[in-house]
A and B are shown apart, each in its own frame.
Chain A
């Protein structure tokens, strides 16, 4: 089945530094990837939709300059948290899907990345 790999699973950084999280589709080409943020005991908040080769579409309230998303290939999307602060500490989860075909409309999730900003 479809597999999405997310790395790193855990990262601790100092306030003011930038952190990059990678999301890879291992056995399929993901035309669209989604980045979610999950607060403790809360649902998933969609941050942005990333389409290969084009700019990401950010949800209202999500700072584009803080959360940089790049989807340079059909198998890789990256989320960079720039100048991270303690309030950015969270669980970030990526997911991928294919538009059209047998795998369409099903989200495959990565295992998540827990970011702790000191």
Chain B
């Protein structure tokens, strides 16, 4: 069975500082990994995804994430936080083994301090 763990339900960073949101997964088959962002009262928007190939993936708004199989991690980073990055971020795992279900982490709320 697949699962996703996001460490830290709340993360605060200063504007201009590095953003690091942690995600660890468990999967018995090669996973597809995703990061989604959710702004208040809105649906989720895809930030980036890893399926196969290059393990460092770049997404929208300057975010990137690196798939590390040995660490079963897919942490999200951004070199310099902007006020507009304040939102809820969800890591998700999905495999092609049968059901196409996506498993979401519990989310990390990012707060950006001026």
What residues of chain A have their CB less than 8 Å away from a CB belonging to chain B? 4, 6, 32, 34, 42-44, 46, 49, 57, 91, 93, 95, 97, 99, 105-112, 114
Contact = CB atoms under 8 A, between A and B. Distances in A.
Contacts, number: 54
Nearest to A57: B99
Contacts of A112: 41-43
Interface residues of B, number: 23
Contact of B43 (A43, A49, A99, A111): A111
Contacts of B45: 109
B61 interface: no
Given A106-B49, A112-B43, A114-B41, A42 B34 contact: no
Contacts of A6: 43
A33 B60 CA distance: 24
B101 interface: yes
Contacts of B42: 111-112
B77 interface: no
A43 B49 contact: no
12 contacts: A6-B43, A42-B107, A43-B105, A44-B44, A44-B90, A46-B101, A49-B101, A99-B100, A105-B49, A107-B92, A108-B46, A109-B44
